Structure formats: C-alpha cells, structure tokens
C-alpha cells in the first residue's frame, strides 16, 4: 500500500505546491501596497487569497485523512459538492489532458474520513483506467453520481458510482485488452485495501459494451 499511497500523495502535493506558489506570488504583489490605505480591490484580493489558502488546507486534509489514525486527524464535515470540487481538481491532475468529469452530487454531508476514502478510491480508479495500457492514454469522459442511499433496517450509506468512456472510439479487441489489464491493476489492489480498512464496498471497473462502470459504497 505504501508505494501506491506515496504516488497519489506526490500527485496531490504537486498540485498543492503549484497552488501555493500562485498564492504566494499574488500576495507578494499586494504586499507593496500595505503601507498605503487598502482599496476595495486590495481587500477583495486578500479575501480571495485567504479563501484559496483555506481550500489548499482542505485539500491536504482530505488526501491525508484516509491513512491517519483517529488520534491524529481532526474530523470535519464536508458537503458533497465541496468534496467533489476538491476531488475533481485532483483527479484532473491524474487523467489525460482533455478528459472531462461530470458529477451529480446529492445535498449531503460526509466526514473528512469518508471523503478521504472516496477521494483515494476515485483517484485509484482513474490511475487504474489510464495506466493499464498505452491504448488508455487518451481523453476520458467520466460521469459520476454521489448520493446517499437508504436501506430498510440498516444505516444509510453513501455511494459514488461512475461510468467512463474513451473520447476516441476504441475497437472491441482493444476494449477487451483494457478490461483484462484492469483486472490485474495494482490500483485495484490498493483500492481494495483502503476499502476494507474503512469498511467500504468497492466494485472495480467492469465493461458494458464501450462503457466502463465502477462503484464505491460506504
């Protein structure tokens, strides 16, 4: 698990570092005017920077929570749309250039640990899909549904379901190669381990004609 987590962590840190660098540059430009009375524009700029830095903090917290112990992580609540906003930026960093992700999120709140599990599971799903063969290194169109599901007599659960298609038409024989490669993916093994650790259920990519489907439930 350590190797896969390290790779995802490096991807996340790369994005966070880029964002911090942009925020620091903007802050430096505004620092020159601190000696003067701040204009409305300057106040708005500092508010924007504050919000950006807070989002970076939330991103770092989200990516870390799944492997932290209860004693070392503070539990936060995050809305479904906020979770997806953070996660889609991370997965866009993983997917090939030109890929598109569209999500439908219920009006729900989850804990940071639950959000972290879903983030890692989806990042692993993206890594598995684009890394299984050279054929898969092309833009992907992904549609996700993040929802709360109630089962009679049982605790409600949260489910993330996804379907993905390659932007460029792919022959049946090539799709079969991708499907076989996905079953052997190290990202499947990683996703299964974090799912078991967090009492979640994972259905890895399976093919339905030219579409691949995936689901994680907690």
Average pLDDT value for the chain = 81
Mean pLDDT of 137-142: 85
Highest mean pLDDT range out of 40-44, 45-49, 170-174? 170-174
The model's pTM: 0.79
Mean pLDDT of 171-184: 86
Indicate which CATH number applies to the domain containing 155.
3.30.565.10
Domain count, the chain: 1
50-78 tens-digit pLDDT: 777 778 877 877 777 776 654 445 567 77
- pLDDT at residue 92 greater than cutoff 80: yes
- pLDDT at residue 35 greater than cutoff 70: no
CA 70 to each of CA 73, 75, 112, 146, 198: distance values in angstroms, whole numbers, following the listed order = 6, 8, 11, 25, 12
Domain region containing 84 = 2-217
Work out the pLDDT band at 147, boundaries 50, 70, 90.
confident
Please give the residue that has the higher pLDDT: either 196 or 155. Answer: 196
Q: What is the pLDDT of residue 137?
A: 67
Q: What is the pLDDT of residue 71?
A: 45
Q: What is the 3-state secondary structure (H, E, C) of the chain?
A: CHHHHHHHHHHHHHHHHHHHHHHHHHHHHHHCCCCCCCCHHHHHHHHHHHHHHHHHHHHHHHHHHCCCCCCCCCCCEEEHHHHHHHHHHHHHHHCCCCCEEEEEECCCEEEHHHHHHHHHHHHHHHHHHHHCCHHHCCCEEEEEEEEEECCCCCCCEEEEEEEEEECCCCCHHHHHHHHHHHHCCHHHHHHHHHHHHCCCEEEEEEEECCEEEEEEEC
Q: What is the pLDDT of residue 128?
A: 92
Q: Judge contact between 123 and 67, C-beta under 8 A.
A: no
């Amino acid at each position: 698990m350590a190797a896969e987590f390290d790779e995802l962590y490096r991807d996340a840190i790369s994005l966070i570092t880029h964002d911090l660098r942009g925020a620091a540059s903007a802050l430096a430009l505004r620092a020159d005017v601190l000696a003067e009375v701040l204009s409305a524009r300057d106040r708005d700029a500092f508010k924007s920077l504050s919000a950006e830095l807070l989002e970076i903090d939330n991103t770092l917290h989200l990516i870390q929570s799944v492997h932290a112990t209860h004693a070392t992580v503070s539990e936060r609540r995050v809305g479904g749309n906020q979770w997806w906003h953070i996660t889609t930026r991370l997965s866009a960093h993983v997917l090939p250039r030109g890929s598109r992700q569209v999500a439908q999120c219920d009006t729900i709140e989850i804990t940071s640990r639950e959000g972290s599990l879903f983030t890692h599971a989806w990042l692993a799903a993206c890594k598995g899909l684009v890394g299984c063969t050279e054929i898969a290194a092309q833009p992907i169109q992904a549609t996700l549904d993040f929802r709360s599901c109630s089962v009679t007599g049982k605790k409600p659960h949260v489910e993330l379901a996804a379907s993905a298609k390659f932007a460029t038409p792919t022959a049946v024989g090539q799709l079969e190669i991708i499907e076989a490669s996905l079953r052997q993916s190290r990202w499947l093994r990683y996703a299964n381990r974090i799912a078991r650790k967090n009492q979640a259920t994972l259905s890895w990519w399976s093919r339905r004609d030219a579409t691949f489907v995936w689901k994680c439930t907690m």
